[in-house]
Amino acid sequence: MNRSGQHTAAELAGLQHEFQDYVLEREPAVLARVRGTGAADAATRMNVYAEGYALRLLEALETDYPGLKAIAGAEHFEALGRAFIAAHRSPYRNLRWYGDRLAPFLAAAPAWSGRPDLADMARFEWAMSSSFDALDACALRREDLARIAPADWPRLTFTVHPAVQRVVLHSNVPAAWSAQARGDRLPPLLQDPHPTTWLLTRRQLQVRFRAMAPEEAVAFDRLAACAPFATWCGELGAMVGEQLAATRAVEYLNQWLAEEALAGLTIP
């Protein structure tokens, strides 16, 4: 490209940066480089883009976070959404991923951190979305386990299904989420000093969720970290008593199989 060409290519980049700066920050430099004609001056025309930008991102957040909107109220939701948008540009090609940092933002932003249920709900709903369109995989079946020789069981490790999510919550936001999904009145939001681990699974492409007992959550954590069956069974024994451990481990495994929470097994 010749010198003149380089100059104009650089001008194209400069124009795009100035245009974008107006959309994001209302920096006025671009107004001198766009034409205002007829019924609308340059600022009126650029504002279509600037206002459309925030509205599109707000709409994306509304799609991903209906429960958050329900517990925050429409006005507060818009305020927190606009604050998030002001703080987070989108690097994504797909708006599906834009809200990924909303929960940590709500937990840290002074304006919202006083309501930990908001960050809890955002965490919960993001986990729901992550499960919804996670990678497909065949679920482990009871017959697969039936083929394992007793001698191999202690070494057995499992692979968790890609659609499984676990989320630790300090409030009853799943109940609030269910209420808004049904169109029911929201329950009072309660904080619990003791966190609860929620297990999200996907069966027939439908995301389901339930609270886990503390010992079940620990067992699942260890299983997900590829600890051998004997290891996490032994740790379970430390929590529920050795006599109950084997029974409890089998109960858990049966439930996880029924929930399609497991996708594979390995005998090292």
The residues pairing with 262 across neighbouring beta strands, listed in sequence order, are 160
Residue keyed to tokens 């708006």: 95
DSSP 85: H
Residue keyed to tokens 């987070």: 88
Closest residue by Cα to residue 69 from 183, 180, 189 = 180
- 255 CB-near residues (< 8 Å, 6+ apart): none
C-beta closer to another protein: residue 138 or 168? 138
In angstroms, give the least distance from the CB of 103 to another protein: 20
Instruction: Order the strands of the 165-171 sheet from edge to edge.
Output: 165-171, 191-203, 206-212
- 153 CB-near residues (< 8 Å, 6+ apart): 229, 230
C-beta closer to another protein: residue 129 or 172? 129
C-beta closer to another protein: residue 199 or 236? 199
Phi, psi torsion values for 262, nearest 5 degrees: -115, 145
In angstroms, give the least distance from the CB of 2 to another protein: 11
In angstroms, give the least distance from the CB of 28 to another protein: 14
In angstroms, give the least distance from the CB of 248 to another protein: 31
In angstroms, give the least distance from the CB of 230 to another protein: 33
DSSP 171: E
C-beta closer to another protein: residue 94 or 243? 94
- Residues of the shown chain interacting with another protein in the complex, contacts defined by CB under 8 A: 1, 5, 8-9, 11-13, 15-17, 19-20, 23-24, 33-35, 37-40, 42, 44-46, 48-49, 52-53, 56-57, 60, 89-96, 131-137, 162-163, 202, 205
C-beta closer to another protein: residue 164 or 176? 164
